[in-house]
Structure 1
Amino acid sequence: MDRRSFVCAAIAGLALPALVRPAFAETPSLRFRDLYSRGMELAPETAALDGAQIAMTGYMAPPLKPEVGFFVLTKLPMATCPFCNDAADWPTDLVVAYAADPIDVVRFSTLIRVEGQFETGFKTDADTGFVSFLRLMNVTYNRA
């Protein structure tokens, strides 16, 4: 291999990783502390994630009844369900996580990592009447 071929191969080898995105790229994470900029005003970075696949780490609040397809993801462990308020009382450290199937409840003090499609904006659940502002749809979760 002559010097010119070696230099061209080296440059191509350095440029290739920048051109090819790996199939196993990690899902972007969103932290509770980064949700809002002031009060109930979403941070611009958070609003920009609407519709994106993201991951969050937190705690599963106990559901109101067994065999439900959603749970409340909280910043801190909560022994009771915090999801009984209307939009005016919505806490800033909650995200509702909807699963395709009934959820397997984990202990409220177990840290979990949840992945799903992020949605923003007030929405009332047709089955329960619960109001949510931030949601993760089609979630998967496991111990963090």
Structure 2
Amino acid sequence: GTPLIGFDELYSAFSPLGLTFSDKVIDLTGEKVRIRGFMAPPLKAESDFFVLTAIPMALCPFCSTDTDWPDNIVVVYLDRSQTFVQPNRTIEVTGRLDRGSWVDPETGFVSQLRLRDARYRTV
């Protein structure tokens, strides 16, 4: 089946220079993976992306630069629109793992880890 990655398996090291991706993330980059977490409150109701967090969040965890990037969030780009769920519901997202600093041209949002062509379900 599709490998499941835990939030605690995303990075192998934290240093003043930033986060180091784990071997598991490096090996699975470009592959279809599953991650379980919580949907952060989206910027707008109709959106094709959201932020997946390790713990439920009351506020949107947007950051100014990737040096401030929290280690417990992943940006999810959906393959189609889905109805957003309550922030306190556990969801499992399946998508293609993408890593490295990237700026979304539409929103200017900077991310380190993304799931592309993704969809999700509550668990």
TM-score (norm 2): 0.92
The correspondence of residues 77-88 of structure 1 with structure 2, limited to 5 A, is 77-88=56-67
Verify the 8 A CA contact 2:38 2:87 in the aligned structure 1. Answer: yes
The answer to whether the Cα contact below 8 Å between 2:63 and 2:69 also exists between their aligned partners in 1 is no
31-40 vs 101-110, greater mean Cα deviation: 101-110
| Paired positions, count | 119
Partner of 1:7: none
Letter in 2 for 1:29: L
Q: Is the 8 A contact 1:70 1:103 kept in 2?
A: no
The aligned amino acid for 2:89 is: T
Q: Distance in 1 between matches of 2:28 and 2:59?
A: 29
Q: Percent identity?
A: 41
1:127 maps onto 2:102 in alignment? no
Distance 1:76 1:105, change over 3 A: same
User: Would you say 1:33 and 2:12 are equivalent positions?
Assistant: no
Query: Which ranges of structure 1 fall in alignment gaps of 5 or more residues?
Result: 1-25
Which residue of 94, 101, 113 corresponds with 1:115? Answer: 94
CA-based RMSD: 1.0
Partner residue of 1:100? 79
Query: 1-side partners of 2:27 and 2:10: how far apart?
Result: 11
Q: CA deviation at 1:46?
A: 1.4
In structure 1, how many angstroms separate the alpha carbons of the residues matched to 2:41 and 2:81?
A: 14
Aligned residue identity for 1:137: R
TM-score w.r.t. the length of structure 1 is 0.79
The one of 15, 32, 37 aligned to 1:53? 32
Query: Aligned pair 1:44/2:19, yes or no?
Result: no
Q: Deviations for 1:77-108, whole angstroms, at most 9, x for unmatched residues?
A: 00111023311110010100001233311000
- In our comparison, the structure showing a higher alpha carbon Rg is 1
